Amino acid sequence: MGLKKVVILGSTGSIGISTLKVIERFSNKFKVVGLTAYNNFKLLERQIRKFSPTHVAVSTKGVEYLKKHLGARQTRILNVEEDLESLVALKCVDIVVIAMRGSAALGPFLSAIRAGKTVAPANKEALVIAGDILISEAKRHKATIIPVDSEQSAIFQCLEGRNRGELKKIHLTASGGALLDVPKSRFDHLSVNQILNHPRWKMGKKITVDSAMLMNKGFEIIETKVLFQLSIDQIQVVVHPEAIIHSMAEFKDGSIIAQLSITDMRLPIQYALTYPERLESGLKPTNFFELGQFNFKKPDTNKFPALALSIHVGRRGGTLPSVLNAADEVAVDAFLNKKIKFSDIYRIVEKIVLRHRTIKNPTLKKILETDQWTRQETERLIFR
């Protein structure tokens, strides 16, 4: 078989960078054909020089910059705001890694699926807001979705080759984020930087704030529900601070299958790229003697109400997950820009979620309208 051709949407973020490291290791198996970024066009330029993709997409400012600096390279420079949907659907593309964040990933995600590609999403937002549409379109167009999010990858691996009728439930593990051992009364006294200091994973700012309030886990509950077509009640969150078990599947007979490894995103990325094969990763092995013990706790929904809110939202479904997603995005952004306090994020998101009248089985258009409505309402609430 020839080289598998890969497009990475969001190649300058942490997942994108890790994906390129994996591809570099297996340069005899993969070829980068497309890279995209928004504003980090200097890093994008270095990536272009190293991986020579045939296509790149970047913001308007970045297009000018790259045209000036790349000279006569054989790379087509596209606009990230307009061209992602056509880029992922190019005939030569085999795998699309969705490493960009936000609901902007929905358009290209859907386009890749409709073109029958293998899609490896690290992005949660698209699955949270329009998961049912993505899954049904994937079935229709025989596209394969192999999740990259570490928990979803774990569940995917635990369920592989099993009879789904025999599954009882999923134990979705959570490291607990930066505030696990901080009393709630201290939350608003912490600086943005303290909240951004995640104990296990190095990630982007938005997702790190979401992790601190367990909103990220809430999104993952909804993601798990749609990806594996489960009911909300089949998903149990377990706090596991060591973050070595990345999730578990419990079957009818009481047997539980878990997926374990060190916390390094290159593992789930590699698995998504090489699936169904497993190859040497060259990463540090899991050392049980060094670890000594594993701990488990029930999540505290009084301290982290975002988790309970997400379960409510996941159960209602329809347009409500898109409200949760957009309100959270606006509120976290306001927190990062020091416009609101940490605990205001939840207060604001809850208000907007309760204000929305859910539409069942929405079209994509309705979902996007809801997303717009939510952003306006949330901004109004913050800046009134």
Smallest distance, Mg ion to C-beta of residue 377, A: 28
CA angle at 329 for the pair 328 and 335, rounded to the nearest 5°: 85
Angle between helices 205-212 and 215-227 (to 10 degrees): 100
Smallest distance, Mg ion to C-beta of residue 126, A: 15
* Closer of 237 and 320 to Mg ion (Cβ): 237
Provide the token pair at 136. 């049904």
* Closer of 42 and 205 to Mg ion (Cβ): 205
Smallest distance, Mg ion to C-beta of residue 78, A: 30
* Closer of 123 and 150 to Mg ion (Cβ): 150
Q: Are 100 and 118 in contact (CB under 8 A)?
A: no
Smallest distance, Mg ion to C-beta of residue 149, A: 4
Smallest distance, Mg ion to C-beta of residue 123, A: 11
* Closer of 175 and 378 to Mg ion (Cβ): 175
Non-local (6+) Cβ contacts of 95 within 8 A are 4, 5, 6, 7, 30, 117, 118, 119, 120, 272, 273
Q: Are 347 and 299 in contact (CB under 8 A)?
A: no
Smallest distance, Mg ion to C-beta of residue 326, A: 20
Smallest distance, Mg ion to C-beta of residue 216, A: 7
* Closer of 45 and 151 to Mg ion (Cβ): 151
* Closer of 150 and 370 to Mg ion (Cβ): 150
Structure-token match 């200097």, residue found = 42
Nearest Cα residue to 32 out of 67, 3, 63: 3
Give the residue closest to Mg ion by C-beta: 149
* Closer of 26 and 201 to Mg ion (Cβ): 201
Residues forming the site for Mg ion (CB under 5 A): 149-151
* Closer of 201 and 373 to Mg ion (Cβ): 201
Smallest distance, Mg ion to C-beta of residue 105, A: 16
Q: How far is CA 188 from CA 216, 335, 345, 348, 378, in A?
A: 19, 11, 11, 15, 20
49 C-beta neighbours (distance < 10 Å), count: 12
- Fill in the DSSP letter of residue 204: -
Provide the token pair at 333. 């952004």
C-alpha 8/C-alpha 20 separation (Å) is 9
C-alpha 383/C-alpha 175 separation (Å) is 33
